Structure 1
Amino acid sequence: MKKKTIVIAIACTAFAMTACQDNRGCTYNADEHSLTCPEKTYATLDIGGNVWMAENLVVYSPDSSICYDNNHDNCVSMGRLYTWEVASGSVCPTGWRLPTQQEFKDAFGTADVGSLKKADVFNMQFAGFKYYDGKFADRGASASFWTAEAYDDSRAYLVRVTDSSVAYEHFNKNIFASVRCVKE
């Protein structure tokens, strides 16, 4: 019985490690403007001097990613929400990373929010966010994207976009927000 338990534990560990590696086994195709990953094929855009994912990330990360309102359909339509620790760590595929505030500013340029919602500009998705206390907020009213920069030990910068503004604010690293990755 003990030997069977050990074999199962080894098999589960091997599967878990392979699944993590598979999340990073993505293939970028510049001609087709796509990034094909095990979980999804993402559209990509060349904007602001970088290649960006044109959709919010949907990689599952246990205890550190969530679907808005805990509803899987929201993950399918708007991507997952992540804590800053995961967003700034290893959630982006190999060769891709979390963008800086300046890279968001370069990508957005002088475009108005209405044009940023267009698929060929940024494909902005107002996926809202989840507070660290468990409450969801702003789906359909705002988009919140983590940046690569920490503000201090407990806060990091988010790009928050509403129909009328784009703001670069610092929030608790334990809230859940959207992630867009840029090619390194």
Structure 2
Amino acid sequence: MKTIITFLLSMMGLSSAFAQELAGVFYDPRDRQEYETVILEFEIDGTNLVREWFTTNLNFEKEGSFCYKNYQEYCNSYGRLYAWTAAMDACPTGWHLSTQEEWDMLTTSYGGVQFAAAEIKEGGDSGLEIKMSGFGEQDGSYIDIGVNGYYWNTADLNAKAPGLITFHTGEEYLSSDQINQTHRNSVRCVKDY
């Protein structure tokens, strides 16, 4: 059935995506944590593009990273929250902080900004399992765990200005914004290509 849907969407000139089986498990040599990954294939303007994503939030401890309310249990369940300067180089070698272009591929392929979140969040068809991990402020306050998910992104791999993708519990839409560098948000890593 998915093949038929993909064919029909491509015939209509729309982009499509489908999740493959889990690509495997990536073992981070820095701290020996493991991350399951998923391969997503996109058709954009007649070109097939493949991206491999972590299916969980990064949980690598480094300067500028924090556990929600400083409780290790939250890091174990939701990953760490990163200040912007830490987020830019937090992903392991061979992986990078997700870019706006990569989020745009997901958004376009799963129904646009008004509907894509349902397929990208936990339980959605993409396999990405985005969590509502809240965020932190520089003053040490934390809010929104279990309610909203805030994810750093960058315009491109060399960009210095922080971007933010936001997911909301019970909502199909997502939003994309620019935000202050001092916020503490989640990181999803994408394999270099």
TM-score (norm 2): 0.71
Show the counterpart of 1:34. Answer: 25
- Pair member with larger Rg: 1
* 1:39 Cα offset (Å): 3.6
Contact 1:39 1:58 survives alignment (8 Å): no
Aligned to 2:168: 162
CA distance change for structure 1 residues 159 and 59 in 2, over 3 Å: closer, same or farther? same
- Out of 148, 155, 168, which is 1:149 matched to? 155
CA 1:58–1:33 in 2, change beyond 3 Å: closer, same or farther? same
CA 1:149–1:33 in 2, change beyond 3 Å: closer, same or farther? same
Q: Give the corresponding residue for 2:92.
A: 93
Calculate percent identity across the aligned residue pairs: 27
Give 5+ residue unaligned stretches, structure 1: 1-29
After TM superposition, give the deviation of residue 176 of structure 1 in Å: 0.4
Name the CA distance, whole Å, in 1 between partners of 2:65 and 2:132.
Answer: 17
Counterpart among 108, 115, 118 of residue 119 in structure 2: 115
Residue 32 (structure 1) shift: 5.0
Q: 1:31 to 1:146 in 2, by over 3 A?
A: closer
Q: 2:143 aligns with which of 129, 137, 142?
A: 137
Structure 1 residue 133: Cα displacement = 2.5
Contact 1:149 1:157 in 2 (8 A): yes
Cα shift readout 1:108-161 (whole Å, capped 9, x = no counterpart): 4326433321276211111000022321011011111111239xx996211111
Give the whole-Å Cα distance in 1 for the aligned partners of 2:24 and 2:99.
22
Contiguous gaps of at least 5 residues in structure 2? 1-20, 43-49
Q: 1:138 to 1:104 in 2, by over 3 A?
A: same
Could you say which residue in structure 2 is the equivalent of 1:126?
Answer: 132
TM superposition score normalised by structure 1: 0.74
* Bigger share in helix: 1
> Displacement of 1:107 after TM fit?
2.4
**Any runs of at least 4 consecutive aligned residues in structure 1 with deviations exceeding 6 A, and if so which?**
none
User: Counterpart of 1:174?
Assistant: 182
1:174: how far off? 0.9
- Displacement, 1:99? 1.4
**3-state secondary structure, aligned to 1:94:** coil
1:71 maps to 71
How many Å separate the matches in 2 of 1:31 and 1:68?
28
